[in-house]
Amino acid sequence: MLCAKTKHQLAKTTEELSQYKQLMDAIDSNVARIDFTPQGYVLNANNQFLETMGYGLDDVISKHHKMFCEPSHSSSQAYRNFWQQLAEGKSQHERFKRICSNGDIIWLEATYFPVKNEKGEVVFITKIASDVTDEVTALEQQTAINTAINKSMATIEFSPDGVITWANDNFLNTVGYSLSDITGKHHKLFCEQSFYDENPSFWRELGKGEFKTGRFKRVSKHGQPVWLEASYNPIFDSNGRVVKVIKFASDITERVLKAQQTTEAAEIAYSTSQQTAMIVKDGKASIDVSVETSNEILTKSQQTDAIIEQLQEQAVSIEEIVKTINALAEQTNLLALNAAIEAARAGEHGRGFAVVADEVRNLATRTTQATSEISGVMQRSSEVSEAISLSIDDIQEMAKRGKEQIEKVKAIMDEIDEGATNVVNAVSHL
């Protein structure tokens, strides 16, 4: 009876050992495993661990665990505490940074668990590990990216329906709020009512997974306009559901305000240029009239000058005629005087002839006086004509100079007109 019971227990124990061996074989086939003494010296390691770390079994047997660690870590108090806790039977689980045989860094997701005997004493430490280097590297890169984004961009997070859950300092500084001011508030806090009037489905579309990008006008805590170049990015869970929305933004307020000022200045320049063009057009029309008037003045002054020359020539002719008449009058007067003398000699018979001779002499005298007056008038007329001629010469010279100046002004006005037209064309294409 006792023998049968013993055999049964032996068989059961053998079966348990077989199952344990199968379990260990399964673990060794799929997981990196290494065993240490409670003090940290290597007892054994499976092929998975050796391949992961780049060692052979002989390279690690009886070596201390610190061979897999950076010197700065293995010499630290934290490292000593780590092994002390294991020796006390406390398991350890986390991601560990280790060093391969070639010096490369490797990250292991590992569990160190103490194995105890029947007395509860730790007899060795088993470590089971998985290589998570790629995952850690990707996480570090993502963390670096997030850090860079947080340093350079304004970031804020929302629930799928637009309630604020978090914002970084850049965003808070941009809008002038503290995190406690906005947490739990809706996105509408930053918007003018017109935004939601124009975009009533904004959050419904984001909740469906639609991205939003563009230039957005927002309002700061102090009521000032804030312009953001931003993207609203829906974040999905493993089931494809939107769990939150992250907004990345850059403050472009200064750029937008400068652009608005430039636009306003361009509009003013456009309007001013149009007005200038109209004024120049009217000015050119007035100048054209002035040029035409100057030409007429010059032409008429030239015609008047010609008439005065003719008058002067006629005055000279009249003066010659007057001289001739005056000479005839003198001769007539002389003849009348001779006739009077002869009549006096004739006595009574020459009395009637004397009267006639006297009348002739009087007429000659009056003729001489008249021709003298005509000569004086013609002299004064000649002087006046000469003065007028000189004045007309001055008028012609002034008219010529005026015409030249007007033509210069017209050329300048043409340049202004061309410049104003160019400004209008340039501004209209802004």
Beta bridge partners of 112: 92, 127
87 in Cβ contact with 112 (< 8 Å): no
Structure-token pair, residue 202: 């904004």
B/e letters for 46-66, b = 16+ CB within 10 Å, e = fewer, are bebbbebbebeeeebeeebbe
3-class DSSP state for residue 106? Answer: strand
266 in Cβ contact with 424 (< 8 Å): no
355 in Cβ contact with 282 (< 8 Å): no
Structure-token pair, residue 352: 């009637």
Structure-token pair, residue 275: 């007005």
Q: Going from the N-terminus, what domains does the chain have, and what CATH number goes with each?
A: 27-138 (3.30.450.20), 153-251 (3.30.450.20), 264-428 (1.10.287.950)
Distance CA 354, CA 360 (A): 10
Beta bridge partners of 64: 41
Structure-token pair, residue 289: 């009239």
34 phi, psi to nearest 5 deg: -145, 145
Long-range contacts of 139-148 (CB under 8 A, 24+ apart): none
Distance CA 34, CA 48 (A): 9
195 in Cβ contact with 217 (< 8 Å): yes
Q: To which H or E segment does residue 216 belong?
A: strand 212-219
Output the tens digit of pLDDT for each of the chain's 430 residues.
556 666 667 676 676 666 666 766 666 667 999 999 999 999 999 999 999 999 999 999 999 999 999 999 999 999 999 999 999 999 999 999 999 999 999 999 999 999 999 999 999 999 999 999 999 999 999 888 888 888 889 999 999 999 999 999 999 999 999 999 999 999 999 999 999 999 999 999 999 999 999 999 999 999 999 999 999 999 999 999 999 999 999 999 999 888 778 777 667 766 766 776 677 677 667 667 666 766 776 676 667 666 667 666 666 666 676 677 666 666 666 666 666 676 666 666 556 656 666 666 676 676 667 667 666 666 766 676 676 666 666 666 766 776 676 677 667 667 766 766 766 666 566 5
198 in Cβ contact with 216 (< 8 Å): no
Distance CA 137, CA 133 (A): 6
User: Which has the closest alpha carbon to 128: 40, 24, 39, 38?
Assistant: 24
pLDDT at 30: 78
Beta bridge partners of 217: 227
Q: Which residues contact 352 (CB under 8 A, 6 or more apart)?
A: none
In sequence order, what DSSP letters do the residues of 125-148 get, joined into one string?
Answer: EEEEEEE-HHHHHHHHHHHHHHHH
Strand pairing category for 122-131 and 32-36: antiparallel
Question: What global pTM score does this model have?
Answer: 0.51
Distance CA 424, CA 164 (A): 48
pLDDT at 192: 96
370 in Cβ contact with 321 (< 8 Å): no
